[in-house]
Structure 1
Amino acid sequence: MSNNNNASGNAFGVLLVNLGTPDEASPAAVKRFLSEFLHDPRVVDMSRWLWCPILHGAILPIRSPKVAKLYQSVWMEEGSPLLVYSRRQQQQLAALLDVPVELGMTYGNPSIRSGLDRLKQQGCKKVLVLPLYPQYSRTTTAAVFDKVAKVLKSQPEIPELRFVNQYYDHPAYISALAASVTDYWQVHGQPDYLLCSYHGIPKRYADLGDPYPEHCHGTTALLAEKLAMPREQMSMSYQSIFGREEWLKPYTEQTIADLAKKGVKRLDVMCPAFSVDCLETLEEIAEQCRETFLEAGGESFHLIPCLNDNPAHIELMAALVRQHSQGW
């Protein structure tokens, strides 16, 4: 695709976007990150005059030191797992496509603004925004759109934009997920049960029209079909529940405990909504949920890694770029 960088300065570039991560595993850095994240009305839509005192008076002071310790337990030599794997994705996709590919995070660094600026410096008059969320949600994908629009709002000339809304049912995505499972099983053997755990959202958001649960169910059904997995040996649940209101159910931790109590001895869990391993997979699932499963009577618990920089995942991203940049 290298011929896109033509002499007329009409090049197109790709902005990969993920949620973001603290700059370091310290309470201060975590507090900065959580403050930006939890201030977004797409994430918490409570009235600001009610929410901000709760956020700054209770949540940030109490949660930041606790979450910093959790980050410390998964931090890699090169930095936060989410950023390390995202950088690898960016570099490998750029090499495969031979077009400018930059990385931006909805919250924290590198910012969406810096990613768009770098594409502009490389002469990109057209930008394909690829949020790395297979299943659309207002809390993730729409938040990326908002941030891109906010950045461009103050600029005299904006690039021609295209935006990938979702790819939950893309054949290359389902194939990459299925291959990651079968590859894992070839090495570690098969479980009694496979659970797909997705990041949760408040049930109210779905009731108001967020299609996220339908997308999650769609991915799970297509994956079960691809794996030829009986549905009595495979299901889905929602993790990372926050606050007091009802979220999408069933909840992952309760589901895992129930499976152990029903006699499942070996449980494998995968997280299809996460494009890279991060705090929610490496600590919440691999540590907290493992403990829950073993305490409830289970014997063996495995986290199947996210797609990360797996070649099939990079090929999926390339397929999405080719599909959505047609005519450019």
Structure 2
Amino acid sequence: MAKKGILLINLGSPRSTAVEDVKEYLDEFLMDEKVIDYRWIFRALLVQGIILKTRPAKSAEAYKTVWTDEGSPLIVITKKIQKKLQKLMDVPVEIGMRYAEPSIETGIRNLVEKGITEIVLFPLYPQYAMSTTETVIEKAEEVRKKKFPGVRINYVQPFYNRDLYTDCLAESIKEKLPEDFDALLFSYHGVPERHIYKTDPTKTCNMNDCCHKDTNPSHSFCYRHQCFNTTDSVIRKLELPKSKTIVSFQSRLGKDKWIEPYTDHTLETIPQKGIKNLAIVCPAFVSDCLETLEEISVEGKEQFLEAGGEKFTYIPCLNDEDRWIEVIRILCEEQLNQFYLL
């Protein structure tokens, strides 16, 4: 009988807050053609010729503000998830990161050394995007074919529209949402607009009204639609009027057009619209990291308050909440069971 295991995949993090470690991490991350999708020579000129000259030092300072005694928050939280999930599963559970260590190759090798030949690989991203789910799957397949050809992998698909996930997210938000909030802002990680079109094999996405249609051939591949769908599902479960909710997209890089509206612009303008008490959640992330702990809960808070806001509440990611671990367990069990059907 084939032995089965689970590999949880998250984004990754530098080994430390040292500038050289941050530079090494950013080089691997930004040179991924699924993240910056230019031809190699132009990507190298941009990343290694421009970005890596100044950004590592700035990012290192930002990482220092969120780093814990145990290390990177994202790595620490992912390990906590692994530990809790392992207690619920009778198969080995390992972790891997798309960038840096422990890598996807390290995670697969750790399972193979335990005799595992069938792996459920779980990219910890609710919504599908070229720069998240797609690059994880491509990298895992590359590693499998080169290093572990005898291993079979089943992938947990994006779960943005699964009730078990949106129920979990809604419950978590409800517990932390202030009673007197004026608006709840859903801030998702942004992507360049061209990524949306590139990932659409149906060529039916127009980046306009199709995101809000009940059905459209592009929905399975459209990150923007999936973000709006997640939001609509959660606010319905929270029984919130749409007038008290906002959707925006953060973390844009460079001068290219990214999907809108932008989070920083939103934070700077909504106080003038009477929104003084803001709650904000980041549902593109399941684990708190630099983009949530520093970019949103520190920089975003400063932007909002300087623009005239009065109260800012950051609602943490699901992290290692027990109800989220149960969602992970169910989604993994579904794919473990698929091996028996093949």
Global fold match (TM > 0.5): yes
| 1:251 corresponds to 2:262 | yes
For 2:16 and 2:33, locate their aligned partners in 1 and report how far apart those are by CA, in whole Å.
25
| 1:203 corresponds to 2:193 | yes
> Residue 63 of structure 1 aligns with which residue?
55
- Map residues 308-327 of structure 1 onto 2, 5 A cutoff: 308-327=319-338
- Kindly tell me: are residues 74 and 92 of structure 1, through their superposed partners in 2, closer, same or farther at Cα, counting changes over 3 Å? same
> Residue 3 of structure 1 aligns with which residue?
none
For 1:160 and 1:200, locate their aligned partners in 2 and report how far apart those are by CA, in whole Å.
32
> Residue 205 of structure 2 aligns with which residue?
none
2:223 aligns with one of 212, 231, 250: 212
| 1:101 corresponds to 2:93 | yes
> Residue 194 of structure 1 aligns with which residue?
184
- Map residues 281-320 of structure 1 onto 2, 5 A cutoff: 281-320=292-331
Q: Secondary structure at the match of 1:301?
A: strand
- Kindly tell me: are residues 40 and 231 of structure 1, through their superposed partners in 2, closer, same or farther at Cα, counting changes over 3 Å? same
For 1:37 and 1:80, locate their aligned partners in 2 and report how far apart those are by CA, in whole Å.
16
For 2:197 and 2:81, locate their aligned partners in 1 and report how far apart those are by CA, in whole Å.
34
TM-superposed deviation, 1:47: 1.2
Q: Secondary structure at the match of 1:52?
A: helix
Counterpart AA for 2:114 = Q
- Map residues 74-153 of structure 1 onto 2, 5 A cutoff: 74-153=66-145
1:279 aligns with one of 270, 279, 290: 290
Aligned residues: 318
For 1:189 and 1:24, locate their aligned partners in 2 and report how far apart those are by CA, in whole Å.
39
For 1:285 and 1:20, locate their aligned partners in 2 and report how far apart those are by CA, in whole Å.
19
For 1:295 and 1:239, locate their aligned partners in 2 and report how far apart those are by CA, in whole Å.
18
Q: Secondary structure at the match of 2:107?
A: helix
Counterpart AA for 1:247 = W
> Residue 152 of structure 2 aligns with which residue?
160
Q: Secondary structure at the match of 1:225?
A: helix
Counterpart AA for 2:13 = T
TM-superposed deviation, 1:310: 0.4
The RMSD of aligned alpha carbons is 1.1
TM-superposed deviation, 1:304: 0.1
Counterpart AA for 1:299 = E
Per-residue CA deviations over 1:105-126 (Å, capped at 9, x if unaligned) read 0000100001000111111111
1:47 aligns with one of 14, 35, 39: 39
Percent of matched pairs sharing the same residue: 40
- Kindly tell me: are residues 294 and 94 of structure 1, through their superposed partners in 2, closer, same or farther at Cα, counting changes over 3 Å? same
TM-superposed deviation, 1:205: 1.1
2:279 aligns with one of 268, 277, 289: 268
For 2:291 and 2:148, locate their aligned partners in 1 and report how far apart those are by CA, in whole Å.
39
Moved more, 189-198 or 128-137: 189-198
Counterpart AA for 1:242 = L
For 2:319 and 2:90, locate their aligned partners in 1 and report how far apart those are by CA, in whole Å.
20
TM-superposed deviation, 1:154: 1.8
Mind listing any 5+ residue stretches in structure 2 that lack a counterpart?
201-220
Counterpart AA for 2:119 = V
TM-superposed deviation, 1:138: 0.9
For 1:90 and 1:119, locate their aligned partners in 2 and report how far apart those are by CA, in whole Å.
13
For 1:71 and 1:173, locate their aligned partners in 2 and report how far apart those are by CA, in whole Å.
29
- Kindly tell me: are residues 45 and 268 of structure 1, through their superposed partners in 2, closer, same or farther at Cα, counting changes over 3 Å? same
1:177 aligns with one of 163, 169, 173: 169
With the length of structure 2 as denominator, give the TM-score of the two structures: 0.91
With the length of structure 1 as denominator, give the TM-score of the two structures: 0.95
TM-superposed deviation, 1:190: 3.9
For 2:258 and 2:166, locate their aligned partners in 1 and report how far apart those are by CA, in whole Å.
26
Q: Secondary structure at the match of 2:129?
A: coil
For 1:304 and 1:192, locate their aligned partners in 2 and report how far apart those are by CA, in whole Å.
15
> Residue 5 of structure 1 aligns with which residue?
none
TM-superposed deviation, 1:156: 5.8
> Residue 253 of structure 2 aligns with which residue?
242
2:20 aligns with one of 20, 28, 31: 28
After TM superposition, which residue ranges in structure 1, 4 or more long, deviate above 3 angstroms? none
